[in-house]
Amino acid sequence: ISPAVDLKYLSIMSLYRKENEIAAASAIKSILNHLLYLSEELVVFSVFDRELAEFLRKALVENLLSIPRQKRFLPVKPKFQKTGPNDSVEYPDHLIRFIGPNSWLLFDLLKMNEEQLDWMQAPVSC
């Protein structure tokens, strides 16, 4: 839930900067300190967020399915996305772009093979 909610909030604050630059800058600075979970490995959890719009959940899955699944994942520290206070954040496109090759790690850890991922082809419904 948090990746989508926080990116949406960050996007809104970027727009709000036109109304009140000082308040928006303060809010943006605060939220940027709490985005460590915005990594390829963790953003994939948004697929299971029932509060997220169906079109967005579907787009996340389609993006994931377009990326070849790695055979092996080496233990590495996650690479956190760099988002600065002056960067524009376009929600929901920004969330979809966080999906990457390491987003498959969750399914690898759960030892889910291709057949067990058939649900990704089904229509999204809450």
Mean per-residue pLDDT for 105-116?
91
Q: Is residue 22 part of a domain?
A: yes
Q: Is residue 126 part of a domain?
A: no
Q: Is residue 87 part of a domain?
A: no
What's this model's pTM, rounded to 2 decimal places?
0.79
* pLDDT attached to residue 2: 67
- State the total domains in the chain: 1
Q: Is residue 84 part of a domain?
A: no
CA dist., res. 67 & res. 104, Å (int): 9
Query: Side chain identity at 68, as an amino acid letter?
Result: P
**11 and 46 in contact (C-beta within 8 Å)?**
no
* pLDDT attached to residue 35: 77
Sign of CA dihedral 10, 13, 18, 23: negative
Mean per-residue pLDDT for 68-84?
81
Query: Side chain identity at 45, as an amino acid letter?
Result: F
CA 121-106-123 angle, to 5 degrees, is 15
Q: Is residue 74 part of a domain?
A: yes
CA dist., res. 63 & res. 66, Å (int): 5
* pLDDT single digits (tens) 29-70: 888 887 777 888 988 998 888 888 899 999 999 999 999 999
pLDDT above 60 for 86? yes
Which pair of structure tokens corresponds to residue 81?
A: 């996305």
pLDDT above 90 for 98? no
| Structural domain containing residue 20 | 2-78+92-121
pLDDT above 60 for 3? yes
Alpha carbon 57 to its chain centroid, in Å, reads 10
List the one residue out of 11, 7, 85 whose CA is nearest residue 43: 7
Sign of CA dihedral 60, 29, 88, 83: negative
pLDDT above 80 for 71? yes
pLDDT above 80 for 85? no
Q: Is residue 86 part of a domain?
A: no
CA dist., res. 111 & res. 126, Å (int): 25
